[in-house]
Structures are given as structure tokens and as C-alpha cells.
Chains A and B, each alone.
Chain A
């Protein structure tokens, strides 16, 4: 028997009534051997649901980090995440609740979700991405977007809706949302060409103290940084800068400026 698989199954049984029912159901449960499932079934199933507020606390944690996304989709949908495959993968894969929620959101909360998912990622830099650059990069060493920045392309009007919604939510977003359904008006990309209001180009920056600064940026900068989402040779980024409007002579200077500001770092 695998004790870690059993422990993770217990967590999933405590959060998700559907999974609890599956453990007690007729069919095999993926990831659990039948002997393991039998061991779990020996315990009164009511023992796994004594904490009536377990899900509510998880919802609260998500709303604290994704307030406008929660406003966009409503608390019932946030709660539904705790029964989604992404939540279960988070438990079994040593993931982070907020990151899994951001993955699960996909386009449900459109640009607001993209902004808050990016914030969640910036709060949790990976060990490789967290290291500061100390030496000047070699002439064509690969570069990557700086770990404190997230360049985003969201539907036009998103920032205005985001800021208005933050103000509407006030200091206690969960309480505000408890009495409301989804908040309308979130800009979304049109399904019909020509009816789309276009895009908004946003740059998100995490400060050293954890604060997030959010503002618009030029399309060229955002697209260049998104091109650098994975390591790119300097000459490839120079070519991208030229494709975004810089002259061939200006491109090296543009890259040097971005390196100086930490928007690009050696990969």
C-alpha cells in the first residue's frame, strides 16, 4: 500500500463529496488500488465530513487571491473548482491551490482571470526564476522575460472593469460576493469578427514587498516580452523587436534597456 496515495485520497474525500462517493461506489477509483480503497471504506464515511467549513475556507482563500475572477463567475462556481480534476491534481501533485485554480479558470473570467492568475504565478516564483542576474550576459546568451513581470493581452476594457470591481468588492470581497451572483459587464472577446473591441496590452509587475503594479503598456513591448516567455537567443529577440517596429540599429539598444530594467534577464 502507498501511504501517500492514501493520505491524498483522504484529503480529496474530505473536500469533495463526489470523490467520497466514488470511493464508496462500485467502480475502481483511478490511482487507488482496491486494497487501498477497501482500507478507506472501513472508516465510517461520515468521519470525513465532520468539518462543515472545510470547503468554505478553501473558497475564502481563493477569493482572497482571485477576487475579481470570483466576482465574474460567482461563488458557486468557485466552490465547484474543489470538485474539478485540477483540484484533485493539485492534491496529488504537490501543487498550489491558487495556481491550480488559475489553470482551471481558463477563459471563464476572461481578462480578469488572466490578470489574477498571473499575479498568483508571480507570487510563487520557481527557484530557477527567482535568482537575480549578476553578470552581463554573453553576446548571444538566451534571454527570458524577468520573473517579476507578466505581459498580458486581455480584451479591451478589462482594466477598467477590474479596477471598478476591486472598488465594488471593498475590503471584504467574500462578504460582498455572498449576497450576489456573478457581476456583469466583464469584457470578453467577441465570437464574431468585427464585433470585437480589440485588445488591451497590460504589464504586471511584482514589487519586492509583494505588491503588484498593473498598467497598460505598448503592444510592441508586451508582444516582445511574451515572445521571451521561454528562453530565446538575443538575436531572435532582436529580430522580434524589429518585427514589432524597431529598426535594426535600435534593436540592440532596446534589448539592453529591457535588460537594465529587469524586464529581460539571462535565462
Chain B
């Protein structure tokens, strides 16, 4: 679940450097027309204190900021992914007070005082959560984009009512879409952690 490191530059840092140079080029080209750009609306910021993966977090946000964006853009916890941003794909799944929810439809301001767990919080002393290991062992992913959301759903499922069959797992995991089609591996991974054979 790390960003992968090559020559001391992470994938994210590389993307950021490239992104910044592209943006500054755009801004120079655009500088003569800035007067036509509507001024940004100023809305009062909200101070939100909550717990992320056992650590206190504080952000000062525009009320429009979602929990997903606060995690990714402010707290640099980029494991939770933005897929559809409309509650249809499950890539942004995190736990709030131990329950799986969609961070893209959760305003950051509503989690004040709450405990949030993200994919980054599943490991213990560097050891993968059994569900993470099971996804590796059972080929539960291909491109990996949906995987953090899949795993957060799968870990929550362990504490919910869900029948023993593969079809029960499919139903309980229906809120997480995988466009690579790794579903059979995902079902096998979840079943193995639950002690069932897929």
C-alpha cells in the first residue's frame, strides 16, 4: 500500500512535480485573462478535530470539503481512492466509528470527534492485516485502484451479518465495484479470512 519508490522520488511526488509545471505554464498563458475569472467565494472555514488511525487530526476546511478530500489532500492519506465521487463505486470506503461508509458522500465537518480508520490504519507494526494478505494470496486485485475500498469493506464485513456462501459475500461486497473484474479472487480472499473455502 505504499506509493512505490524509484530513485528517491515517489510516484506521488513525481506526479506533483509534473502537475505543478503544467499548471504554472497554464497560469502564465492565462495571466492576461484573469480579470474575467470570477473571484472565489469565501466561506467561513470550519475547524474539525477527529481521530484517524488512532492519531489526532485537525483540519480547517471549507464546509464543502468531503472526508475523502480531507484525508487525501490535507492529511496526505491517499490510500482511500476517488473513483466516481458520487457514492456508486466504493473506492472511497473508510470506517467511521467502526462502520464502513463512503467518504466521498461524507462532509469532513460531520466527523468532528469521531474515529476514522483508513486502509493505512489496518497494518499493525508493519504487518499486513489478514485481509490484506488474503487479497495478495488470492489475486484479489489487478490494477489495484478499487483495492483499498474493497479491503475496508471486507474487513467491516467480518463484523456484520453475512451468510456463509460465496453469493452472500458477493451481496455483502456489492457496494465495491472492480472494473478489472477481480471478483472471484476477492470472494476467495474474503472467504479464506472467514474460514470458508470459496
Chain A partners chain B:
no
